[in-house]
Amino acid sequence: MILVTGGAGFIGGNFVLDWLANPSAEGVVNLDKLTYAGNLATLQSLEKDARHIFVHGDIADCNLVLSLLNKYQIRAIINFAAESHVDRSIHGPADFIQTNVLATFNLLEASRTYWSELAQKNQQNFRFLHVSTDEVYGSLSSTARPFSEKNPYEPNSPYSASKAASDHLVRAWYHTYGLPVLTTNCSNNYGPYHFPEKLIPLVIMNALAGKSLPIYGDGQQIRDWLYVKDHCAAIRRVLENGKTGEVYNVGGWNEKSNLDVVNTICSILDELRPKTDGAPYAAQITYVKDRPGHDRRYAIDARKIEQDLGWRPSESFETGIRKTVQWYLDNQDWTEGVLSGAYRDWLKKQYS
């Protein structure tokens, strides 16, 4: 079996669903603390699938992790568990240091203990795949080359600094102890089951609710958008064929400004769900105070994963964003469940 951490979150949830969509796939032990971002409704379709074992717990709990590794004879760990939202890290960095740094250290230690006691063949086959972000590389100027695996780390937010720290720990556990690790640094994801504190789901849901669509600063910041299912495919590819100790950058070759992203969503909604008063959704756009230390541009050079492992994204931004908007229109049960929870308190704190 494999151990997925943070598998009730956005990317982890999509990963577990996609993994188990393959009838011959190994089972998944899914360890998640169920913070505000963890949502079991995402995994509802697996309720009767005996190959999915959900465990409510913290990756910081070494005893729990070790007992799961031993009980299920885990052959790979895919670590998605993290605090993931930049704005929250600005309001309260402590949780980010706790989970992204200290708890990742505990997870590495539990993994090392388990791995060091495995028989030689199982030791060779074992993998610890750490899912990280392009934000560790800092911000690019408009003319700079996209981030390659060789770019220096220059994190600018408490979130990206905490992820950078976790990447360094993972690297050190490979070089010092020989733990067979893999690290992926990915650009901005979007798609189904995305928690609406992040730009794309926030804009879709606010637009439909007749609320304002908040653009930080001038809206000219650039992100490299990747459809989440492409990211999940990249992780599977790295897990199977990646070289231990290596880092793989994963990106969509889809650089867009925030304003372009929001306008695209508005036009798709104008077409799929026109407003009864005939007004365009873009009329709801509002410019708000910028994020402190807001990184201007991210872009990924994804040539290494393509050349070494043959992975390329299958969705363009245009196809992926259309699927995403349609998913939110078709899955209002999921979004209403989210809206009735802690999300509302967060909205008040961030935008009032």
Near ligand NAD by CB under 6 A: residue from 33, 229, 237, 256: 33
5 binds ligand NAD (CB under 6 A): yes
Q: 162 near 96, Cβ under 8 Å?
A: yes
What minimum distance in Å lies between the beta carbon of 131 and ligand NAD?
A: 4
Q: Is 87 labeled as catalytic in the residue annotation?
A: no
130 binds ligand DAU (CB under 6 A): no
The runs of H, that is alpha helices, within the chain are: 10-20, 62-71, 86-91, 94-96, 104-116, 120-125, 158-177, 199-208, 228-241, 258-272, 303-309, 317-330, 332-339, 343-351
Q: Which is nearer to ligand DAU, 115 or 190 (CB)?
A: 190
The C-alpha atoms of residue 242 and residue 285 are separated, in whole angstroms, by 43
Mode of pairing for the β-strands spanning 255-257 and 222-224: antiparallel
Tokens of 351: 């935008």
Q: Which is nearer to ligand NAD, 86 or 284 (CB)?
A: 86
Binding mask 89-128 for ligand NAD (x = CB under 6 A): ----------x---x-------------------------
Which one of ligand DAU, ligand NAD, none is in contact with 242 (Cβ closer than 5 to 8 A by kind)? Answer: none
Binding mask 217-246 for ligand DAU (x = CB under 6 A): ----x-x-----------------------
Q: 133 near 164, Cβ under 8 Å?
A: no
Nearest to 82 by CA among 112, 37, 123, 46: 37
Q: How far is CA 315 from CA 226, 318, 319, in A?
A: 8, 8, 6
Q: How far is CA 228 from CA 14, 214, 317, in A?
A: 7, 23, 11
254 binds ligand DAU (CB under 6 A): no
88 binds ligand NAD (CB under 6 A): no
Which position has the token pair 């720290």?
A: 165
For ligand DAU, the binding residues in 13-42 under the rule CB under 6 A are none
DSSP labels, 62-122: HHHHHHHHHHTT-SEEEE--S---HHHHHH-THHHIIIIIIIHHHHHHHHHHHHHTS-HHH
Near ligand NAD by CB under 6 A: residue from 29, 32, 221, 302: 32
Q: Which is nearer to ligand NAD, 284 or 305 (CB)?
A: 305
Instruction: Give the H or E element holding residue 182.
Output: strand 181-186
Q: Is 167 labeled as catalytic in the residue annotation?
A: no
Q: Is 135 labeled as catalytic in the residue annotation?
A: yes
For ligand NAD, the binding residues in 63-82 under the rule CB under 6 A are 80-82
Q: Which is nearer to ligand DAU, 43 or 205 (CB)?
A: 205
**Segment contacting ligand DAU by CB under 6 A, of 98-106, 116-124, 194-202, 323-331:** 194-202
Which one of ligand DAU, ligand NAD, none is in contact with 15 (Cβ closer than 5 to 8 A by kind)? Answer: none
Burial class (CB in 10 A: 0-12, 13-18, 19+), 55: middle
Supply φ then ψ for residue 130, to 5 degrees.
-100, 120
Q: Which is nearer to ligand DAU, 126 or 248 (CB)?
A: 248
Binding site for ligand NAD (CB under 6 A): 5-6, 8-12, 31-35, 37-38, 58-60, 80-82, 84, 99, 103, 131, 133, 163, 186, 188-189, 195
Binding site for ligand DAU (CB under 6 A): 84-86, 133-135, 187-188, 198-199, 202, 214-216, 221, 223, 258, 291, 298
Give the residue numbers annotated as catalytic, written as ranges: 134-135, 159
